[in-house]
Amino acid sequence: MKPHYDVIIIGAGAAGLFCAFNAAARNKRVLVLDHANKVGKKILMSGGGRCNFTNLNTTHENFSSQNPHFCKSALSQYTAYDFLALVEKHNIEYVEKDPGQLFCKHSSKDILQMLLQECAQGAVKIYKKCSIEKIQYTDQFDLDASCGEFTAKSLVIASGGLSIPTLGATGFGYEIAKQFGHTLVETSAALVPFVLSQKWLTRIKPMAGVALPVGVSCDHNGKAISISDDMLFTHRGLSGPAILKLSSHWQPGMQIHIDLLPAVNIKQYIAEQMSEHAEQLLVNNLAKLLPKKVAGFICEPALQDKKLKQLTKTELELLEQKLHHWDIRPEGTEGYRTAEVTAGGISTDKISSRTFESALQKKLYFIGEVLDVTGELGGYNFQWAWSSAWCAANSL
């Protein structure tokens, strides 16, 4: 006889594990299946190994979806402060970096260990290296998997999106959604670095590894999107928080605009510097404001040997253009290989925003990144995982 569970959850990531122990707390017998060799891989690598596990300022406006109101109910039912209470219950030390952004003080492992401890307390069974071969529904869900055959009253899909396939990401959840009649919103890599042309890479090569605060913007559906944060030059192009945030609004072929010195009016600054430093080379003076390699990039080639007193009006215009209005058209992004999340996914049209149950198949639930709900950079996607998982667990 096949082992029977109240709930089978596919995916042992943030949403899956969180849903599992919350369902177990409601006296459900829970099984979690994951095809990877380790659980919570994405949790472990997130936030530079420190896991930006939530954002205290989370609202529905921090998310994009074809239905921008879909996430409201879940975010109000289970808030960032609710999750923080769980973190504090486990005595996990955390730090607040930017306003609202909470990271583990020590390691992402603390969050994963917390989830696994809660699952163990609820007697949740977790199978790793288990691939699903077939799912069908009669009066219950029947699953054929590489680790056995199982039945369950309810099935939760928490398999994530396509981001970072080296961690095990696949489109499995999308296939299950289509099997039961759901439609998909076109997916794309989001929160992802930009790749530049070889011509540009040759020019910026000396700056690889250099980061600085910038202002970046692009036009999205006729609306100007502007972001202020750090940008990182890489061997392939541009990255850092400012670029990752902008990537969610960027479309192929679109030009982006970069202000390398957003806090300074360069013309006014040069005028002030002229009185005391007229003999100083421009490149050396700019190095007071910018990383030395970036100052060199700005001055190459025409302004490299110019003293402040030698700058003409035309050269000041050129300097302003290069500093405040650096326009560039990325060749593309690094794609799912390095994307933090997947934009698009299962359409929310036939999913309950309160319970996350399918309107097309009773007792079938979809939670987390697999849905067409994408958060901004800064802990929002983890909060979406917690909130959606909590709602599903409490309706099972």
Alpha-carbon gap, residue 151 to 308, rounded angstroms: 77
Handedness of CA 338, 339, 345, 348 (dihedral sign): positive
Cβ count near 214 (within 10 Å): 22
CATH number of 193-333: 2.40.30.10
DSSP 69: T
Q: 41 φ, ψ to 5°?
A: -60, -40
Q: Which pLDDT score, from 0 to 100, does residue 302 have?
A: 86
Q: Which pLDDT score, from 0 to 100, does residue 9 have?
A: 98
User: Average of pLDDT values for 47-51?
Assistant: 94
pLDDT in tens, 372-389: 999 999 999 999 999 999
Name the one residue in this structure whose structure tokens are 């439609």: 183
Cβ count near 268 (within 10 Å): 9
* Per-residue confidence band for 206, with pLDDT thresholds at 50, 70 and 90: very high
Counting every residue written for the chain, the total comes to 396
Q: 358 φ, ψ to 5°?
A: -70, 140
* Per-residue confidence band for 176, with pLDDT thresholds at 50, 70 and 90: very high
Domain boundaries, the chain: 4-189+342-393, 193-333
Percent of the chain's residues with pLDDT above 90: 95
* Per-residue confidence band for 288, with pLDDT thresholds at 50, 70 and 90: very high
User: Average of pLDDT values for 327-337?
Assistant: 96
Measured in whole angstroms, the distance separating CA 96 from the mean position of its chain's CA atoms is 18
* Per-residue confidence band for 211, with pLDDT thresholds at 50, 70 and 90: very high
The answer to whether 115 and 57 have CB atoms below 8 angstroms apart is: no
Of the ranges 66-75, 221-230, 286-295, which one carries the lowest mean pLDDT score?
Answer: 221-230
**Pairing state of beta strands 63-64 and 141-145?**
unpaired
Residue 278, classed as helix, strand or coil, is: coil
pLDDT in tens, 4-30: 999 999 999 999 999 999 999 999 999
The pairs formed by 294-302 with CB atoms below 8 angstroms and a separation of 24 or more are: 294/207, 294/210, 294/212, 294/260, 296/206, 297/203, 297/204, 297/206, 297/207, 298/260, 298/322, 298/323, 300/203
User: Average of pLDDT values for 185-203?
Assistant: 96
User: Average of pLDDT values for 329-354?
Assistant: 97
The answer to whether 357 and 363 have CB atoms below 8 angstroms apart is: yes
Identify the CATH assignment for 4-189+342-393 out of 3.30.390.10, 3.40.1160.10, 3.50.50.60, 3.40.50.1100: 3.50.50.60
pLDDT in tens, 235-258: 999 999 999 999 989 999 999 999
Query: Is the predicted pLDDT of residue 222 greater than 90, yes or no?
Result: no
Q: Which pLDDT score, from 0 to 100, does residue 169 have?
A: 86
**Cis amide bond preceding 252, omega within 30:** no
The answer to whether 151 and 2 have CB atoms below 8 angstroms apart is: yes
* Per-residue confidence band for 168, with pLDDT thresholds at 50, 70 and 90: confident
Give me the chain's average pLDDT, please.
Answer: 96
User: Average of pLDDT values for 269-297?
Assistant: 95
Largest CA distance in the chain: 89
Cβ count near 279 (within 10 Å): 9
Q: Which pLDDT score, from 0 to 100, does residue 155 have?
A: 98
Q: Which pLDDT score, from 0 to 100, does residue 152 have?
A: 98
Of the ranges 164-168, 178-182, 358-362, which one carries the lowest mean pLDDT score?
Answer: 164-168
DSSP 35: S
User: Average of pLDDT values for 296-301?
Assistant: 92
Nearest to 115 by CA among 74, 134, 87: 87
pLDDT in tens, 105-115: 999 999 999 99
Q: Which pLDDT score, from 0 to 100, does residue 40 have?
A: 96
Query: Is the predicted pLDDT of residue 53 greater than 90, yes or no?
Result: yes
* Per-residue confidence band for 271, with pLDDT thresholds at 50, 70 and 90: very high
Reading the block at residue 110, the tokens are: 């603390």
pLDDT in tens, 80-89: 999 999 999 9
User: HSE-up of 255 (CA within 13 Å, CB side)?
Assistant: 6
Nearest to 316 by CA among 256, 274, 255, 263: 274
* Per-residue confidence band for 325, with pLDDT thresholds at 50, 70 and 90: very high
pTM: 0.92
**Pairing state of beta strands 30-33 and 4-10?**
parallel
* SS3 track for 235-285: CCEEECHHHHHHHCCCCCCCCEEEECCCCCCHHHHHHHHHHHHCCCEHHHH
The answer to whether 270 and 312 have CB atoms below 8 angstroms apart is: no
User: Average of pLDDT values for 196-225?
Assistant: 94
